[in-house]
Amino acid sequence: MAKQTFLRGALILVIAGLITRLLGFINRIVVARVMGEEGVGLYMMALPTLILATTITQFGLPIAISKRVSEAEAIGDEKQIKRILIISLLITGCLSIVFTIGLFLSAPIVAHYFLTDERALVPLLAVTPIIPIVAISAVIRGYFQGRQNMKPQAISQVIEQVVRIIIVAFLTKLFYPYGVQYAAAGAMIAVIIGELASLAYMIRLFSIHKSFELRKTWKSHIQGGKKTLQELMTIALPTSGSRLIGSLTYFFEPILVAQSLAIAGLTVVETTKQYGGLTGYILPLLFLPTFLTHALAVSLVPSISESAANHHYNTIHYRILQSIRLSLASGGLITVIYFIFPAATLAIVYGTKQGGFLLQFMAPFFLLLYIQTPLQASLQALDLAKSAMWNTLTGAIIKFIVLVFLSSRADFGINGVAIAMVTGVVVVTLLHLSVLVREIKFKFPYIMTLKFVIILFVTGWLGLLIREQAYFPSNSIMEILLTGCLLSVIYITLLFKFKLLSKEEWTKIITK
């Protein structure tokens, strides 16, 4: 089985992430144009419940499997790898059955009492069957990550998005005449079919490359798997705690938003539209650069774990700095574009200029989100997952306090929700950094941060100058494309000039 280095594995996931993000945007554009803000709002209100259920089902096992499989492979223990897979499949299989039934039975209560919009019931019920599919996918994905083979995960992501795009337009249009709630359900069904296609590909690849029979002697592996279970749980429990907190935050967020905006005087329809605009239009734009940060996080876990086991602390520090540097570099240019052309960006992508101020306000703060995921992966790889969990909890509590306090006031409304979101991002990222500084004596990269701020300032200033002087046609699409191309050249040149990007790194990727 092919095995990649840290940068090569990350690059494979970056390419796949870029493709899937672009395909995902196409999917969102189709959904937004067919269903409108109200339909997107219903879709986004149902989505957190799904994510909560699947997060609990996965139980933090993908990272635990990745780490333990990598350790077992290092000593050539194929029996242990088989045992890890069997125990993991047993756990996720049982949990997926429980939560599939639980979500199906509790959907009416969630839609009526928590989401305050009974129309959310239909998409909630439609998406329920995805839970066992995602659970099995998580185990196989963790296995390939532990083998440091990122290609199966990368290709499966692309397959999932392609299948979803092919189906989503047909299903949403098919069900739309019955109501926006059924159109939202059609979008959810497209997600299920996409995930099923992705799982089918990974199972096929697993059956080809595995060096053992999974079905043989599985009972003996379960009976003797107590130690393996304990080893998995030492990583999975705190990791699951962090993800559970994040999913609970995502689950309760639309509930608190709905209740708070109702106090501020908004109707149910107004709340659904405004929340749909923020979470369905603005946040996907802000999350676009995270395909790189996710790729780095996945590759960081086995890389840092190996370095920690060998006491190569300089390598650990270098990898963390490298992930911060690359994450900031990936998000800087698009942040400048969002800040200079917020309304035009929304108009081009979604056909609406509503929410331009929120995009412009939130973009600079989300630079911290881009480094948050690699930082959390570093903590998990260094057996500091508990600290990461408490940091996530602290950020969630502060976020909710700010959300309720501000969004329930008529003079803030949906702006209060945006402020709460960026507050949570800032708090969690700074707490992650503080743990690394305290536990491994990580030196905060002040000079690198200053260089990056200078690059952003220069690029942003030139972008504003170009816009004000109207060097390019005023047509929104042409203006952004031409300005973006020019700023890209300037931005990348400055990154290499200030050594935030290294020619040596890219040479290693190409030659090794």
* φ, ψ of residue 409 in degrees (nearest 5): -95, 135
pLDDT in tens, 323-343: 899 899 989 999 999 998 888
pLDDT-based confidence at residue 271 (cuts at 50, 70, 90):
confident
Residues 342-351 pLDDT 10s: 888 888 888 7
Q: pLDDT tens for residues 134-167? A: 889 988 988 888 887 888 888 998 999 899 888 8
Residue 405 near residue 263, CB atoms below 8 Å? no
pLDDT score for 435: 95
pLDDT above 60 for 414: yes
Of residues 16 and 510, more confidence is placed in 16
E strands, 149-292, where? none
Give the pair of three-digit tokens for residue 200: 């089918």
Instruction: Indicate the domain borders of the chain.
Output: 6-444, 445-512
**Which residues make Cβ contacts (< 8 Å) with residue 372, sequence separation at least 6?**
293, 425, 428, 429, 432
CA distances for 188 relative to 355, 376, 466, 493, angstroms: 25, 29, 42, 42
How many other CB atoms sit within 10 Å of the CB of residue 129?
A: 16
Contact between residue 399 and residue 424 where contact means Cβ atoms under 8 Å apart: yes
CA 257 to the chain's CA centroid: 21
Give φ, ψ of 217 to 5 degrees.
Answer: 55, 25
Residue 172 DSSP label? H
Q: How far is CA 431 from CA 250, 375, 450, in A?
A: 20, 10, 20
454 band by pLDDT with thresholds 50, 70 and 90? very high
Taking only the tens place, the pLDDT of each residue in 172-214 is: 888 888 888 888 888 889 889 999 999 999 999 888 876 556 5
**Among residues of the chain, what percentage have pLDDT more than 70?**
92
- If you average pLDDT over every residue of the chain, what do you get? 83
Rounded distance between C-alpha atoms, residue 425 and residue 367, angstroms: 9
Using pLDDT thresholds of 50, 70 and 90, give the confidence band for residue 217. low
